[in-house]
Structure 1
Amino acid sequence: MNSLYQAIRNKLFIETSSSISQQNISNAFVSTDNISGNGSRIESKTFSISPYWTPSFGQYANGLFKVGYNKSSFDNSNGSTVSPLLSSNLNLISDSETYTRQARLTSGSAFNRVSWGLNYSSQQQNRVSGQDVRFEQYQGDTRYYINRKFNVFGQAGYSNNDYQTLSNSINNGFFYTFGAQWSPSRWYSLEAGYGNNKHVTMQFNPSANLNSNVTYRDKSVGLNTGSSWDASFNYLFKQAAIGFNYSQETTTLQQLLTQQGFFLRDSSGNFTQVANTQDLFTQGFLSLDSSGNLIKGPNYNNSQLVFNPFDLVDDVIIRKRGNLTFSYQTGKSSYNASMFNERRTYGKRTGEDLSYGVSGGWQWQYEPRLSFYLQPSWMHTEGSLSSNTRYDVALGVSRSVPINLGRPLLMNTGLELRHINLMSDSAQFGGYVENRATANFNVRF
């Protein structure tokens, strides 16, 4: 559940979120329910509150001052009791309290040829077991516009991070970057910065339908040191869309679970391709309007299940993820497909976790209140304990029926047939095959 309260109009806000979900303990046995996954799943609870103030200092500066508190708790007892192999080989994720602070000032409209910014950010995560984690950074930047096509910039700051690693390879200290940006037209630009943190960024937006961005970094100080890439590409056709993005970040699982919002997701991490589409209607995540169109439900920002193909460990993670999506709409049919690849390395253990897969979907809107769908997906995961491959295909029909219980209402009904096949090289689990039929209905009053 997410909420945003405006205590003082356009000035003071209070942001909160909370969730209860289930997580896989290890990629040795990836499951989506308690029938096949008993003992390899734990309950996860999160709560966060973040008040923030957005002052404006006339034409001279705009500000953001924000503090936050996040609490994450995990019921590790069930997984430790039923699956001792997992708990003995993994440093299971710990309950934690996270305190965040952010202060930012940016130049206002009074500055024409010069822009500037000052920023401070801090995240202190206190864990019940294991070493605490701190991410902290001070940064200032300025940019001078020589003309419309050319500007020069400078960035400097101090990075102060603390977390446990195998080789004690945390690169704290002073960092700086000086460079220039060339923008010969509004369609593309090139920026390069040199210092102990270097980067090159190219933007190419030749039309309103296409936008792309590629950044290469070589950092000596801070998080994600060494060479790294970030890229995005999005193109809109008349009836279709294609998108690609790749990113790298250093984070913790506690923070990922808080930020991701606990949507019901499939192996590719996409909200549109869920493990059981009808569950979204039953639990209020999605709904249909009076014309049968798909709309957000009352519990859109909640979730009862997060599908996590990685080990649930108490560690700092370097996460690299690439994702390619495609969608197409024609007549009464809509199609979508996605591919993903994600790699994770950890601060306190050797090796790498890898997960990649594909998923697709076809929906046929036979009439405004009747639709059929087909959703196949395939995922392969390689981890420190085992590797597994999971295939999932669902065929279903959904129907909205008008009813009258004192006032006109709409009852959503559905029937789904699903086949799941998990093959694992784990000596303890080995895999499973599941065939499931699900029927449901719900009425929103």
Structure 2
Amino acid sequence: MRIPLSGMPFWRSFFRRIPRLPGRKAYVVGGWVRDMLMLRRPTRPEIDLALEGDAVQWGEAIAESFGVRIGRVSEFRTCKIDVLHDKVPVRIDIASCRTDDYPVPGGMPVVTPSSIYEDLYRRDFSVNAMAFPLEEPFQNSFLLMDPVGGYEDLVRKELRILSPASFEDDPVRIFRLFRFQERLGFTPDLRTSRALESARLNGTFLRSSKSRLWDEIQAAIREESRCAIVFRWLLEKPWENALPSLKMSSPRRKRVFAWDRLTVHESVFSPLGRFWREMLLLLALFYGLPRQECDRGLRLLGVPEKRARVLRESLFPVPSENGREKTAQSDILPNLSPQMIFLNLVRGGPETFASFEKALADRDQQPLGEMSLTGRDLIKEGIEPSPEMGNLLIEIRELREKGILNSRQEELDWVRAWVRSRRQKS
């Protein structure tokens, strides 16, 4: 089967910019291939590439072609590159073709270089185990490689694991299954459903790689169907007896809905501190749990210690000398952290949340010249998302409160002067 790129000038020109290494076979793999077959278009500006050879060497050549630097190289010699093509940012993930062996179930695999066919057989689900060879010269179309029958599963809208031990080898695939169920609207086939139930009863989840599980949780939060994915977690309960209280309930369901609604207003919180979507989700999930179970859950989900500490301080504030909690406040004040604002909203109930959203709507209806700058405005001025951006937004707010800056245009002029000054110093 050959898939043409007719009507897709962006991707045709993109692939012409990808250099080839002499004597090395290269491929497009994974989600980009799946979405092209299913929708005849990729759904995201990101792409996975595989090489029968050294992925880092190829990544350096690709980065040079786009005039950027190669990103972090993993221990498996994979790399990421963020490029700009026709003014559109594209994330490129590059890996060497390999096989994975799991001497310890749930542990890190032992990696061996392989052909593309062996590489496709090691993947999570059949619909993600298809490839397009990058022919030289580029033909403006792709010839499908499908050794595991992924296209038939795509037509049937089924998710099928490629090995009965798939979840035992890599328990993070359980969470990935839930994510693809909601994103694609697919259902597991019979063998996959049985393997999932077996993994749940055997406590397979407890052997997950914590860092990779945390990465998967963050990937789920970036999905448009993030709310449904979280509900899938609560219904399926892959943690089974390890976290008996973490299950679907009416209050928890309402808190997850509130979290999902609040993420729309992320820019509002940028002057208040780091807006961690995953942190607010954990507050929605763990609110009301005993301290001991909360600690266990944070460890099982691989939550980094810094964020786990912030979450504990939010859920279990230390009383001050006068008997009141140091962090809890009854009103939604502008100097509260995003975590405390969220907790106050869910504690206050639907009326409090409705009042908060009305206040945000009134704010958005102000004349453009009266609105304060947000993180998106600073990005347009060439300032990268970073702690420095947060500090700038705080300083702008303080200058506005002091009456030094009195309009959006004055704020823009101040930011542009700051950017010019920084460039001159560098």
Same fold (TM over 0.5): no
Q: Quick check: which one's helix share is greater? A: 2
Q: Quick check: which one's strand share is greater? A: 1
TM range (shorter): under 0.3
